[in-house]
Structure 1
């Protein structure tokens, strides 16, 4: 177990799933939950605290607190905000104005106490919120991390692994760009233990050609399928956040696709999206540029254009609201 404090802001379905998942990892010794509804937070904390009595779980301190707890936090996970519902027609952007306002309030409170903690964002629309959190509050760029396409990549690797009959952990392939409609897969970089995607049919004895468009489409919609079936998503996004917590606390320097404000990668600036990044105890150490083919570059450009149009709309709305 590492010595360090984790603050979880929000005790809804995702926040509580993160709390319970991170306890199993034994990577932090102090967890604080912040939530507007303190009774809900107390209930989640009390329930989770009982699991520390089992042999597989360390005796982690878990409690409810206020934003002052952020002052010496190593990691802060922001889950607060409105969630996608079945009536959203598969568009995370419907949450834009409401969740930007909620995030702004949360970041105002965090920055009263720290700009040193690593902030992990999981709320939607993820990439826009990462951009707002980093650019509006003077927070160090490398310390604002969006879970981004980390979950999308896990879903993609699982789908492709199932098709080829191998463990998803043997698949090397990333979903990049937006955590949303314009996410894309750079197929020229996909491989399984070094076997190139174009050789999968021969090497794994596939009887049908892999339908790349279907995989991409299924990857984008499966979250909404889960929403329709169980009413919310929580397990996958919780483990995505926990994967980052582990990488940071153990200084892994692993490479994960996360959302960050770009500062020149592929010649792009002033937008947040997911690219493979080196994750360490300091946050994001380096953002890597995969060798995109022509199609991948076109898809990246489309993603950037889409996200920047949303940011322009957001900026225009802010100006109108302030009377400018």
Structure 2
């Protein structure tokens, strides 16, 4: 099977996704598309320069929409012109217009694979992609709170001075300001974080703020964020191409709210295999509902 991935948008995020896929040997062919064709071509040229240095060979194509026709996955990584925005919802008008223009071009190629969306506001744009494409909900999803969950594990790991890989649990809801840490799901060695013995009591509200503010701290320092989301996206793509049946907290469709929102899901070759609904506390469920309302209101504003 030819493992073929298209990336729409070759800015910092799209470029780093391509880099991650190539260096890890996750796919056989990558198609790079950008409205600035010179940018996509430059990224392709640099990735080709690595061909003799990587573990496996990846064919790189630039600026050819027709090559998307038989792609397994298309990653939507379109970004706004102005990056330094505290609330991802501020990007909605610009990114929704861009996506509304791109999706018909993709469909015209005959593409029948899986859409993985990174473009912000992630949950709203993922909802828009599904509505515009008409694809089954299982074949359209966003990176959602996967990066936020990784940040939470990093923050908790640092607070406890343990490897973040030893921290389980999820950030749920919107990939944005209304996200929340579902502390009832967070554990270390099967012990819930509220019962985990520490020298001093953990300040969970402070940890939550550190998780939510992590992206902004990176953004204000270097001007963009890309390493984390690129790594997350590469893992998701690998799970699809290998039929890994692996759990990620992604932006997936909620029948109740008729929008996409961050929840733990099982991912395999067909896309979303199933959605896990953890037993949340009443306060967490309320936070989830508030987050869903934020996404729903934002989506309604761009119809």
Compared CA separation, residues 115 and 47, structure 1 to 2 (3 A): closer
Alignment length, in residue pairs?
A: 303
Of the candidates 186, 196, 199, which is equivalent to residue 195 of structure 2? 199
Residue in 2 that maps onto 1:321: none
Instruction: Select the residue among 188, 205, 223 that pairs with 1:231.
Output: 223
2:93: which partner in 1? 97
Instruction: Select which of 71, 85, 90 maps to 1:73.
Output: 71
Work out which of the residue numbers 280, 283, 288 in structure 2 matches 1:295: 283
Task: Please say if residues 255 and 278 of structure 1, whose CA atoms lie closer than 8 Å, have aligned partners that are also in contact.
Answer: yes
How far did 1:269 drift?
A: 2.9
In the TM superposition, what is the alpha-carbon distance from 1:115 to its structure 2 partner? 4.9
Superposed CA offset, 1:206-243 (max 9, x none): 22211111111111111111111111111111111111
Deviation by residue 1:177-222 (Cα, 9 ceiling, x = unmatched) = 000011011111211121111222x2xxx22211111111111111
Secondary structure at 1:284 match in 2: strand
Q: Which residue does 1:261 correspond to in 2?
A: 253
- Asked if the contact 2:122/2:144 (under 8 Å) is kept, the reply is yes
C-alpha deviation, 1:85, in angstroms: 2.9
Partner of residue 305 from structure 1, selected from 272, 293, 299: 293
How do residues 163-178 of structure 1 correspond to structure 2 at under 5 angstroms? 163-178=159-174
1:319 alignment partner in structure 2: none
Match of 2:19 in 1: 20
The reply to whether residue 245 of structure 1 matches residue 237 of structure 2 is yes
SS of 1:238's partner is helix
- Structure 1, unmatched stretches of 5+, are 316-324
Write out the 4+ residue segments of structure 1 that deviate beyond 6 Å after TM superposition: none
Cα separation, 2, equivalents of 1:312 and 1:9: 25
Q: 1:64 aligns with which of 62, 66, 69?
A: 62
Partner of 1:184: 180
SS at match of 1:73: coil
Quick one: distance in 2 between partners of 1:182 and 1:151?
A: 15
Per-residue CA deviation, residues 19-53 of structure 1 (Å, 9 max, x unaligned), is 11111221211111111222111111111111120
TM-score normalized with structure 2 length: 0.96
- Which whole-Å CA distance do the structure 2 matches of 1:305 and 1:76 have between them? 28
Alpha-carbon offset, residue 71 of structure 1: 0.8
What's the RMSD between the two structures over aligned residues?
1.4
Alpha-carbon shift at residue 131 of structure 1 (Å): 0.7
Q: Which of 147, 152, 166 is the aligned partner of 2:143?
A: 147
Q: Deviations over 1:102-142 (max 9, x none)?
A: 01111111111235211111111111001111123212211
1:312 and 1:47 map into 2 onto residues whose CA distance is: 41
* Bigger radius of gyration: 1
More helix by share: 1
CA distance in 1 between partners of 2:262 and 2:12 (Å): 24
Match of residue 127 from structure 1: 123
Q: Could you tell me the TM-score, scaled by structure 1's length?
A: 0.90
1:43 is the counterpart of 2:42: yes
SS of 1:190's partner is strand
Gaps of 5+ in 2: none
